[in-house]
Amino acid sequence: MLNIKLQGLDKDGNEKEYSINDFSGQKTILYFYPKDNTSGCTQEACDFRDNFNRLTPHTNLVGVSPDSIKSHKNFKEKQGINFILLSDPEHKLAEAFEVWKEKSMYGRKYMGIERSTFVLDEKGKIEKEWRKVKVKGHVEEVLSYLVD
């Protein structure tokens, strides 16, 4: 199991330090997204938020981006996010899950998060993964996997 510690905000917006090990004992949806308050990331977070009650009887729900705690706090308040957000500014967790990748936009190359979701089993091992996620319909895919 990974013992990477990250600062995050709990469901109520309180700052706390987390390790992936903290979520053992129950399945965990761990999703990586590029940036708070951008259109695709906001849609994805709101889709998870709106399905929170359908997801959480089965799992923990955790979002991760390189954004700061301050950015996460604003994002949670503005969008009513009701699950844990972790701040990974040094990309430690993103690199461990191999989602910190070279990307390209308008011919310019840069490093960033490849939108990805993982279901971790009760022992913290990857049970299912979705990489290069398209936001539309993604939460339904995750629900379908967990509930069916």
Digit-by-digit pLDDT tens for the chain (148 residues) are 567 899 999 988 899 999 988 888 899 999 999 999 999 999 999 999 999 988 877 789 999 999 999 999 999 999 999 999 999 999 999 999 999 998 888 889 989 999 999 999 999 899 999 999 999 999 999 999 998 6
Decide if 41 is catalytic.
yes
- The CATH superfamily assigned to 8-147 is Glutaredoxin (3.40.30.10)
Cα gap 139→59, rounded to integer Å: 13
3-state secondary structure labels for all residues of 99-144: CEEEEEECCEEEEEECCEEEEECCCCCEEEEECCCCCCCHHHHHHH
pTM (2 decimals)? 0.93
Domain ranges of the chain: 8-147
Catalytic residue among 6, 9, 30, 41: 41
